Amino acid sequence: MERNNIFNFATSELSQDAFICWLCNWVNFDDNSLSEDEKKLKSLANDFIEKVSGEKLGDRKVNIKRQYQKIDVLLEIQNKTEFITKGDKTNPVVDMYVIIEDKVGTGLHSNQIERYRELISEKNKNINESKALIKTVYYKIYDEDNTERLKENGVNVIFEREKILELFERYKDNIKDSIFRNYYDYLSNIEEDINSYEKKKLEDWNSNCYIGFFKELKNEKNLLEHAIGRQKDCSWGYVNNSSGGFMGMWWFPLSEEKINKLTETSDEDIYLQIEQYNQKNIIAIKYSVPKKNKNNKELSKEDFEKKVKIASEKRKEIFSKLENEVPNFQKKYFRAGQYMTVGYLEFENIDDCKDKIKILQYALNLLLKGCVKIFV
C-alpha cells in the first residue's frame, strides 16, 4: 500500500503555494535557532530561491507574500544595509521581486504574467524608488507542452517538475522532515506515472502514459517530419469531443505549398494526429477547414459550409488514392466538419506506432508526386 501522503489530498494550487512559502521561509531563520535537519532545509531554500531568482541570496532576508493581489507567491528579496523611509515607516530596500505563478492542472490565462509584472512595477516605483529587479517564474508540477513559448509572454524562469526534482534529489537522503519528504514523494510519484508507459501494455495506459510517450516522440530525432516553420506547431494535449475526448498529439509534415497541391485551395490544412478512437490507438491523417479567411475575418455560415462541403469531397479523394496503397488504411464515417479524418492506421505498441508514423509521412509525400502502388 502506498504511504500516507498529505499532498495526495492537498492537491490544490493553494496547498502548493503554502509549501513554496514554507520552504522559502527557512532562509529567514538564524542557524543558531535551527536543528541539523532544519539547517539542511535552509540550505535547500537558499538553492531554491537562487534557481527562481537567478541570484545568490547570501544572508539577505526574504519577505514572503501569498496571494498578494492574486499573485500566487511573491518573494521580496531585501537589501541588508539600504533602507527607505516613507512617512513614519522605514523598510529595507527590495533588491528583487520574484513573482511565482504556480500552476497544477491549468496553464496561464488572461495575460496573468503581464498584469502581475505591471502591478509590481507600480509597487516598485511607489514604495521602493524603482530600485528592484522583477523576475517572473512559472512553477508547474504537471506536464504542459511547449512551455518555452511562455518566455515570449514575459516569463523569465520556467521551473517544471523535472527541474524541481533535480534540485530536491540533492537533499532527499539527508532531510528527514515529513513535509519535505511528502512533497518530494508526491512529485516522484507523478514522474514515475509519466514514465510508466515504457513498462505498461498499451491497453493499460492512462493519460500520464500518453504524455510520457508523446514527450519521447517529440524528443526523438528524425522521426517526426515538420514543414519549415511549423516545428513549434507540433503539440500534444487533451482534445475534448462529443465521444468523451482523448489524449492526442499532432504535427504538420507538409508545407503550405504541398498542402495547396493536394487540396487545390490555399488555406486548408493537412496534418497527422495520434488519438484514441473506438477503443483503438490510431495515427490519423486529418483535414481541417479554417473558420476565418486570410485576413483573419470570420467566414459567414454559408461560406464556411460551402468550404466544408468541397473539403469533404477532397478528403474522400485523398482516401481513395491511399486506401489500396497503404496496408490496413481505414476510414471513419465521412462526416463533414471543421476537422475531418481522411483515414488512419491502428498501432499496437510503441515500436508499431513509430513504424506507422514513418509509413504515413512517406505516403503523404509520395502522394504529392502522383505515385501509386506505394507499398506493393
What does the H/E/C string look like for 184-237? HHHHHHHHHHHHHHHCCCHHHCCHHHHHHHHHHHHHCCCCCCCCCCCHHHCEEE
Q: Which domain holds residue 282?
A: 205-368
Positions of E strands within the chain: 62-68, 71-86, 89-103, 133-140, 157-160, 235-239, 246-251, 269-277, 280-288, 339-346
Domain stop point among 160, 193, 226:
193
Question: What is the pLDDT at residue 370?
Answer: 63
Question: What is the pLDDT at residue 89?
Answer: 86
51 plus 116 within the same structural domain: yes
156 plus 235 within the same structural domain: no
- Amino acid in the structure at residue 92: P
Domain stop point among 170, 193, 216:
193
Strand 246-251 and strand 235-239: the pairing is: antiparallel
295 plus 325 within the same structural domain: yes
Pick from 348, 110, 114, 357: which is nearest to 223 by CA? Answer: 357
Domain stop point among 150, 173, 193:
193
Question: What is the pLDDT at residue 373?
Answer: 47
122 plus 50 within the same structural domain: yes
Question: What is the pLDDT at residue 283?
Answer: 98
pTM, rounded to two decimals: 0.89
30 plus 126 within the same structural domain: yes
Determine the Cα–Cα distance for residues 239 and 203; give it in Å rounded to an integer: 19
Question: Can you tell me which residue has the cell 532527499?
Answer: 172
> Do the domain assignments include residue 231?
yes
- Amino acid in the structure at residue 232: K
Question: What is the pLDDT at residue 1?
Answer: 63
| pLDDT tens-digit profile, the chain (376 residues) | 678 999 999 999 999 999 999 999 999 999 999 999 999 999 999 999 999 999 999 999 999 999 999 999 999 999 999 999 888 888 899 999 999 999 887 777 778 899 999 999 999 998 888 999 999 999 999 999 988 888 888 899 999 999 999 999 999 999 999 999 999 999 999 999 999 999 999 999 999 999 999 999 999 989 999 999 888 899 999 998 877 889 999 999 998 888 888 877 767 899 999 999 988 999 999 999 988 877 788 889 998 999 899 889 999 999 999 998 899 999 988 788 899 999 999 999 999 999 999 999 999 988 877 654 444 4
> What residues does 251 pair with on adjacent strands?
272
Residues 212/199, Cβ–Cβ less than 8 Å? no
> Do the domain assignments include residue 189?
yes
> Do the domain assignments include residue 104?
yes
C-alpha cell at 336: 463533414
Determine the Cα–Cα distance for residues 166 and 168; give it in Å rounded to an integer: 6
Determine the Cα–Cα distance for residues 26 and 9; give it in Å rounded to an integer: 24
Question: What is the pLDDT at residue 206?
Answer: 96
Determine the Cα–Cα distance for residues 116 and 227; give it in Å rounded to an integer: 36
184 plus 273 within the same structural domain: no
C-alpha distance from residue 74 to each of 34, 140, 315 (Å): 25, 16, 52
Pick from 63, 33, 57, 60: which is nearest to 44 by CA? Answer: 57
- For residue 204, give every residue at least 6 positions away whose Cβ sits within 8 Å of its Cβ, in sequence order, or none: none
Question: What is the pLDDT at residue 372?
Answer: 44
> Do the domain assignments include residue 222?
yes
177 plus 295 within the same structural domain: no
326 plus 292 within the same structural domain: yes
Question: What is the pLDDT at residue 374?
Answer: 42
127 plus 161 within the same structural domain: yes
Q: What angle do CA 91, 94, 98 make, to 5 degrees?
A: 135
108 plus 223 within the same structural domain: no
> Do the domain assignments include residue 199?
no
327 plus 281 within the same structural domain: yes
Strands across the sheet with 339-346, in order?
Answer: 235-239, 246-251, 269-277, 280-288, 339-346
Task: Tally the C-alpha atoms within 13 A of residue 37's C-alpha that lie toward its C-beta.
Answer: 9
**Tally of domains within the chain:** 2
124 plus 163 within the same structural domain: yes
The phi and psi torsions of 325 (rounded to 5 degrees) equal: -105, -25
Question: Can you tell me which residue has the cell 488555406?
Answer: 267
Determine the Cα–Cα distance for residues 277 and 19; give it in Å rounded to an integer: 40
> Do the domain assignments include residue 269?
yes
Question: What is the pLDDT at residue 153?
Answer: 83
Strand 157-160 and strand 133-140: the pairing is: parallel
> Do the domain assignments include residue 66?
yes
Pick from 119, 116, 121, 158: which is nearest to 137 by CA? Answer: 158
Residues 97/134, Cβ–Cβ less than 8 Å? yes
End-to-end alpha carbon distance in the chain? 53
> Do the domain assignments include residue 327?
yes
